[in-house]
Amino acid sequence: MNVAANPNDLSDVIAADKANVWHHLVQHAMFETVDPKIIVEGKGLRVWDATGREMIDAVSGGVWTVNVGYGRERIADAVRDQLVKMNYFAGASGSIPAALFAQKLISKMPGMSRVYYSNSGSEANEKAYKMIRQIAHKKYGGKKYKILFRERDYHGTTIAALASGGQPERAMQYGPFPEGFIQVPHCLEYRAQWDVEDYGRRAADAIEEVILREGPETVGGLVLEPITAGGGVIVPPEGYWPRVQEICEKYDILLHIDEVVCGMGRTGEWFGYQNFGVKPDIVTMAKGVASGYAAISCTVTTERVFDMFKDDASDPLGYFRDISTFGGCTAGPAAALENMKILEEENLLQNTKERGAQLMARLEKIKAKHEIVGDVRGMGLFQGLELVANRETKAPLDEKIVARVVAAVGARGVMIGMTNRSLPGLNNTLCLSPALIATAADIDAIADAVDAAIAEIAATL
């Protein structure tokens, strides 16, 4: 069927969508009984769907993306001005916004110095893996090729990104995978794997155990989310990050931090890792970099990493042999530069800290009231509530019931998310991550809806 869509007539749009769009992460059978939700407008923290219904978006575009909120005319203007002047040239050449955004970004990342542009979080991570692999070839005869990743972390949807993902349910139908991606244990103390006082240090020691098992001479990189996002909003316990740093230095392993979710203010610092005093070799970012106004991702490295690709000019293949066609689009860095200016001028990092503290306090109260809330965790405007069937045993709440909670929050006009279906016991976390412009009243409205929805569903259990 071929439906001619008239964008001014939303019934046509819905028909066109149902006929021709293959949605992300959706079992399409459901559209036999309900229409796809078409979001037609956004302003600040609020969005409107095709039926005219207004919702508070407490997940920043569904997946932690729209950090500065919807309807930012100054970003649209900056992109438009740039596009009519110069929209694209392949990245072997430079552009004004690419240079200016890189300079601004690096000014917020002491110790880092080079920005490599691409378009998505998955792609930025692939670039980092290719850097680590090429360094293995250049410096270690190809031996130091393994890249460690952590259980529950996610680094994207391409085959190598899935190979380095700690959520097997996302990967299991897409193998076989490339070799050399090795998993280390998760660090969620609420579901502790070790009975020790110093849990953070113990969980990091587990990384060293894997390195020693694999052979340190074979391990070139370690990729970690600063706070695990889709895998359960897992904030590493105290002592974890300093020990990780120590281990990487000891075994000459490049530390790659995936800031795709935590980056650009989400945790109240520019980057998540800056909460923990850690010094990465490579940082990747996407989502909030331009708040979804344009597609852009960055793989940022230290000068030391960059130097490894230019220190042997006699080797004609020694430079980073990679390209991203659309990494040369100027819309991305033009939008990203304006996005950063907004974060600064509106003092949104400070707002994130304050509103984050308010949200956390409300969530702790919700936990105290409702037995089905097992744990509350997060940082800044990036928080989660893990739901359990039994607080003593921590048996997870059935995910269908968690989905009913999410729907009951939605019925109160607030969109929240839940973490990915996953290994038994580690999913079922409600995700709350509004745009960094949220006001105290917005946070109360979000928390009120969550509180009432949990009460409603808990009463039926």
Binding residues for ligand PMP, per CB under 6 A?
A: 63, 120-122, 125, 154-157, 225, 229-230, 258, 260-261, 286
Is the CB of 352 or the CB of 358 nearer to ligand PMP?
352
Distance of alpha carbon 230 from alpha carbon 417, whole angstroms: 10
Q: Cβ of 400: how many Cβ atoms within 10 Å?
A: 7
| Shortest distance, position 158 Cβ to ligand PMP, whole Å | 7
Is the CB of 260 or the CB of 298 nearer to ligand PMP?
260
Distance of alpha carbon 258 from alpha carbon 122, whole angstroms: 10
| Shortest distance, position 274 Cβ to ligand PMP, whole Å | 16
| Shortest distance, position 419 Cβ to ligand PMP, whole Å | 11
Is the CB of 48 or the CB of 177 nearer to ligand PMP?
177
Is the CB of 44 or the CB of 268 nearer to ligand PMP?
268
**Measured at CB, which residue is nearest to ligand PMP?**
121
Q: Alpha carbon of 95 to those of 9, 234, 340, 362: distances in Å? A: 39, 38, 18, 46
φ and ψ at residue 48, rounded to 5 degrees: -125, 135
Q: Is the dihedral of CA 21, 27, 30, 36 positive or negative?
A: negative
Closest alpha carbon to 286 in 63, 47, 103:
63
Using DSSP's 3-state secondary structure scheme, residue 248 falls into helix
| Shortest distance, position 270 Cβ to ligand PMP, whole Å | 16
| Shortest distance, position 260 Cβ to ligand PMP, whole Å | 3
Distance of alpha carbon 386 from alpha carbon 172, whole angstroms: 25
Question: Where does residue 173 rank: exposed (0-12), middle (13-18), buried (19+ CB within 10 A)?
Answer: exposed
Is the CB of 225 or the CB of 442 nearer to ligand PMP?
225
CA dihedral of 434, 437, 441, 443, whole degrees rounded to 10: 30
| Shortest distance, position 145 Cβ to ligand PMP, whole Å | 21
Distance of alpha carbon 419 from alpha carbon 431, whole angstroms: 7
| Shortest distance, position 317 Cβ to ligand PMP, whole Å | 28
Is the CB of 155 or the CB of 362 nearer to ligand PMP?
155
Is the CB of 286 or the CB of 373 nearer to ligand PMP?
286
Q: Alpha carbon of 331 to those of 41, 139, 263, 301, 328: distances in Å? A: 21, 36, 19, 22, 9
Distance of alpha carbon 213 from alpha carbon 351, whole angstroms: 45
Is the CB of 358 or the CB of 428 nearer to ligand PMP?
428
CA dihedral of 105, 108, 114, 117, whole degrees rounded to 10: -30
Is the CB of 10 or the CB of 289 nearer to ligand PMP?
289
Is the CB of 121 or the CB of 268 nearer to ligand PMP?
121
Q: Are strands 146-150 and 181-184 parallel, antiparallel or unpaired?
A: parallel
Distance of alpha carbon 13 from alpha carbon 280, whole angstroms: 46
